[in-house]
Structure formats: structure tokens, C-alpha cells
Structure 1
């Protein structure tokens, strides 16, 4: 495992770059900047408008979409440049992330230093990063003609793919850790940790629907919603699927329930984690996961009560991603089998 230090460093760079992209994406969304660039030019799009005529043309194209006539009605050139630069930076960051994934991967393959056991798994990283760029434009395009914002379904898919890339890189990074203890928890603990972390992943994705539907701007109170446990307007739309994923009231309610359940279960796991059961590394990983969830739950309440200011909204998204990262490490710590099987007893 020691010979794979360079690969682990690359994977850590990939993990950090995903965090960076998630933060920039959160800022872009919360500042309503994501639709300011109405074209997707993978190569030429690297260059922003270079003169006043180009800026005028970019603003003219933006003024033709529904969001410019509603959310950004009456926007000035100075205001347009502010949101344009955020979206441009978001796209440049996405391209940079792609290079972080692709160039070292090709280098390791060319040098023959890619761990053969993980070659196929790691090959997915640059491919999924490319797919993420395509999906990002597919998401943006949903808000350019009829809608005043991007599709919540596509926003959730965009976040889900980013987290999938993160998990692949993180799990492989943990696999290549030469200091990992050779401890495997009993089946009930493995399934319990996996179940709670999976519930967290669902909670994070449900947060994307809250964000996409602007659900954080309604019922800015806690613990009740409109003075009720089940809020008024919960069944405003016909059809359970449509209501669950397109009604901002229902989306926020479901996110609250999932977050509360995740918080309770993760704290129970952290409270019961013992080194003699999970090993020192496993117990520590589960405890850190529990602490991160506690912080995220409290941060979520504050963010809601303050009607999702940009700084808190971005921090909430960052800590949620961090909690998922610690959760994946906890799953790895209790789930991955022994690296070396014990020798058979002499007959």
C-alpha cells in the first residue's frame, strides 16, 4: 500500500476539488446567478466578454429568458456583471475539477503506477466528471425557456452525481490507507452504520429539492410549521409523487423529518460506539460522524429561522457534504473486511 501514496494524494486533491465545486455551486444558486450565462461553450466559454459590445450582447441574451423578467426584472449592467462573474467562475471551477480528475489519472495509467485492483473503479472518476459537466448544462437549460428557475429534479441529479464522484474517490482513498486497522465490526453494527449514512445521503438529496423549489423561504420557524406538525398546504398538489417533489411545503417537511431522524440515529450510534466493538479507528469515525450531524442539524435550524441567507445556506451545504464524508469513512471503517485472513491453526 505504501507505493500508492501518490495515488492517495491525487484522490485527496479530487475530494477537496469536489468540496470546492459544491461550495461554488451553492453560492451560484443562492445568489440566483446560475442562469446568467445562457450558452454552453466548453472551449470558447472559458473566455468572458472582453469588451462592452460583448457585455451588451450577453445581457441582451439573458434578458430574453423568463428569470430575467421576474427574479431579475430591471437588472442593470453592474448587477448583471455580478451574477455573470459568479456563474463564469462556477463553470471555470468545474473545468478545473475535471482537469484534477483527468490529468493525474492519465499520468498514472501511462506510468503503469495505477493500482490494478482499483483501475476500473478509478476510470469512472474522469468519466463521471465529464458527465457532471453535461448534466450541469442540462440542468441550466431547464430554466432558459419556460421556467424561472432550474428544474429541482435536475438540480437534485446534479448534486447526486457530485456526491457519487466524491464517494468513489473517498472510498478508494480509504482503501489505500496503509495505516488502517484490521478490524471488522459485527454485522448489526455494519448494517446500522450503513443504514444511517444512507439515510443521511437521502436527506442531503432531499435538501436539493428544498433548494430547487425555494422551500427554505416558507415556514421559517421551528419545530412546528404554521403552528402545526403537518403544515398547511402539505397536500396542495394532486398526486403523491408530484406533491412530494414539486410542492415546496412538502419538500421542506420531508427534509425536516429526514434530518431529525438522521440526527437521532447518528447520535445513538455515536453514544454506543466503543473501541472494543469497532476498533479505535472505527469508534472514532462513528463519533466524528455523530458530532458532524449534530452541528449540521443545529446549523439547519438557524439557516431556516433566518430565511436562508447566502452565507448560512452555503455553510449548511458544506457541512452536509462534510458529514456525508465522515459518514462514508465510518462505513468503511466498520464494513471493509480484514486485509489479511488469520492463519489456520496448526493441526
Structure 2
């Protein structure tokens, strides 16, 4: 018998708004990737949360910004002799990155206030969304904290701060997407599988949390690899030079810091944690075959398998071809898509598990 579907959540417009915020954060992460890959992140040396939205309007404005950039270690040690026109090409990516971040803040804050006035949130939802707003403000500060690390001695930003900036963006995306699913979800009055079947999705749900942890760990090591320019060394696969494990790992002291400070070690851990994640996705797929899951869960699992396989291929190509910008950006975008599908799958499995518990207790 086909289960009847009832919409218990009337806040569909709230869910659409949150999905828009997710899409904007997705674009923000991609712009951040372009900014990093084009080495544009240190072109703006001041942090002006309000007035920084106004771009240079005349030649005098451009010369002032260029003079500030000429005082940075990056210009002095790497870009000495850069022309004003060349400076403009890196300036715009950093400007767009910061402008888009401010725009996300407005797109989140204004509807949040309006929906709150209309009492569209439960107390717990209001607290969660307000926390997300505060986290977004913190993310802006972390972004400046990251840039500041490359303005005094270093010619690039700290890999620790860059990875923190990336993980905070990932956390914001995940929290907002989870809330969007909650507002948009349809609640079936009956489960989509037999109540008395021996295998319920509770264990599969637990495994999905493990996969979320693994992909977050993979992305974390991707941040360190990017921050250390680890993709520019050992452009071979599966070996790194003549050996499986790069020699730099064994000789770095203290060794436990090697994955976070040695480019070769960071790449090594990134690639093999990613492959470990891929293996677990395949195991997850095999285990899921014994469950009578909903159509949506089956589609999400198949999508997860495809995206993970595609991600491994992109990662290998990124290394073999020495980090071409186009491939690296697709690699980054696909990682976020994989993370999104995994969050969606986790939400779907959790909903089905709760339905099973309720129907079993009836």
C-alpha cells in the first residue's frame, strides 16, 4: 500500500530561503578556491566590514590600494615589479570574495528578522538560526585573521588559519542545509518499508555519521594540502616518488606535526584518507542492499557512490597534472556536493528510523 503523504511543515518559504543561503555559501567556497589558486588573497591589506563594500572608484583609489600591497612580503619577495593592471587582476577576486560574504550576511539576516517577527520559528529553531548568524560573523573575522597571517613575515597565509576558515564555511553550510531539510521535509504517515522486517536502518544511520566524519577529515586534510601547496609536489600516483610514503614524513620533527606542516605529508594523508572514505562508501553501499529503504534513500546512496568515485578520479588528475585551476575547482565543488548528498542521506535515514520507532511503539 502506498503511504499517504502529509505536509506537516507550513514553513516552505523558510526552507527555500535557507537553501538559497546554502547555494550562496557554495558559490562563496568556490570563489574562495579561485582566490587561493590565483594567489589573490593578500591583495587587500585592510579589513573594513562596512566601507570595504565600496570598490576603488578612481585612479587615486587604485594607487592607494596598490601602495599598501607593495608593502607586503608577498609583493617584495615574489611579485616585485608587478604593474597596476596586474594588481587589479588579483584584487578583483579578493574583493568579490569579501563582497559575496557580506551579501550572504544580508541575505541571511534580513529574512531571519522578518520570519522571526512573523513567528515562523519554534524557540529551538530560533536559537539554532541565531547561532548560525553569529557563526557567520565569526567566519568573517576568521577570514581576516587568515589574511593577516600573510601580511607581516610570510608570503602566504597560515595553513592552519586557512583550514579553520574552510571548516567554518563547511560547518555553516551543513547547519543551514540541515535546517533547510527540516523545514522542507515531507512526513509520511507510514514507513516506506515493512515494520516487521529484521533489518531497520538504525545501523545504517550510525554508519552515515562515520562517513560524515571521514569526509570532513578528508576536507580538513585537503585544506592543509592546499595551504601548503602540497599538490605541487610528488605529482604521481599511487607512489610518491620511489616510495609509497614520502621521505619527508619520516624526517619531520616532531613527526605528529608533519601532516599539518610538511607539503608532501599533507598530500599523503589527504589522498589516503580520501581513499579510505571511498572504500567505506562502497561498504556502505553493499550493506544497504539488505535494507528495504525508501526510493529517496536509494537514489541518494547511488549518487553518493557516483560522486565519491568521480572525486577520487578528480583528485588523481589534480595531482598528476600539477593542480590545474579548472580541475582543482571541480575537485573542490564535487567534494562539497558529496558532503551535501551525505548530509541529505543522513537526514533521510534518521527520519525513517524515527518513523520505524514510532510505528513499532504504536
The normalised TM-score by structure 2 is 0.90
Deviations 1:216-261, CA, capped at 9 Å, x for gaps: 1001111110021111222342113322210111100000110111
Q: Which residue of 2 aligns with 1:51?
A: 58
* Secondary structure of the corresponding residue to residue 220 of structure 1: coil
Q: CA RMSD in A?
A: 1.9
Q: Does 1:306 align with 2:321?
A: yes
Residue 260 of structure 1 contacts residue 297 of structure 1 at CA under 8 Å; is this kept in 2? yes
Q: Which residue of 1 aligns with 2:172?
A: 165
Quick one: distance in 1 between partners of 2:100 and 2:361?
Answer: 53
Q: Which residue of 1 aligns with 2:158?
A: 151
Q: Does 1:129 align with 2:153?
A: no
Deviations 1:254-275, CA, capped at 9 Å, x for gaps: 0011011111111222244238
* Secondary structure of the corresponding residue to residue 130 of structure 2: helix
Alpha carbons of 1:311 and 1:75: their partners in 2 closer, same or farther (altered >3 Å)? same
Q: Residue 102 of structure 1: CA displacement?
A: 1.0
For structure 1, list consecutive stretches of 5 or more residues without a partner in the other structure: none
For structure 2, list consecutive stretches of 5 or more residues without a partner in the other structure: 1-7, 194-199
Q: Residue 197 of structure 1: CA displacement?
A: 2.1
Residue 11 of structure 2 contacts residue 183 of structure 2 at CA under 8 Å; is this kept in 1? yes
Residue 9 of structure 2 contacts residue 186 of structure 2 at CA under 8 Å; is this kept in 1? no
Q: Which residue of 1 aligns with 2:300?
A: 285
More deviation, 12-21/165-174: 165-174
Q: Does 1:40 align with 2:47?
A: yes
Match for residue 331 of structure 2 among 305, 313, 316: 316
Match for residue 26 of structure 1 among 24, 30, 33: 33
Deviations 1:52-109, CA, capped at 9 Å, x for gaps: 2221121111111111123323211111000001111111011011112111111100
Q: Which residue of 2 aligns with 1:118?
A: 125
Q: Which residue of 2 aligns with 1:97?
A: 104
The normalised TM-score by structure 1 is 0.94
Structure 1 residues 117-266: aligned runs within 5 Å: 117-180=124-187, 182=191, 185-266=200-281
Alpha carbons of 1:190 and 1:49: their partners in 2 closer, same or farther (altered >3 Å)? same
* Secondary structure of the corresponding residue to residue 55 of structure 2: coil
Match for residue 338 of structure 1 among 342, 345, 354: 354
Quick one: distance in 2 between partners of 1:178 and 1:244?
Answer: 40
Deviations 1:115-146, CA, capped at 9 Å, x for gaps: 44422112222111111111100010000001
Q: Residue 343 of structure 1: CA displacement?
A: 7.6
Q: Residue 39 of structure 1: CA displacement?
A: 0.3
Residue 249 of structure 2 contacts residue 255 of structure 2 at CA under 8 Å; is this kept in 1? no
* Secondary structure of the corresponding residue to residue 338 of structure 1: helix
* Secondary structure of the corresponding residue to residue 341 of structure 1: helix
* Secondary structure of the corresponding residue to residue 233 of structure 1: helix
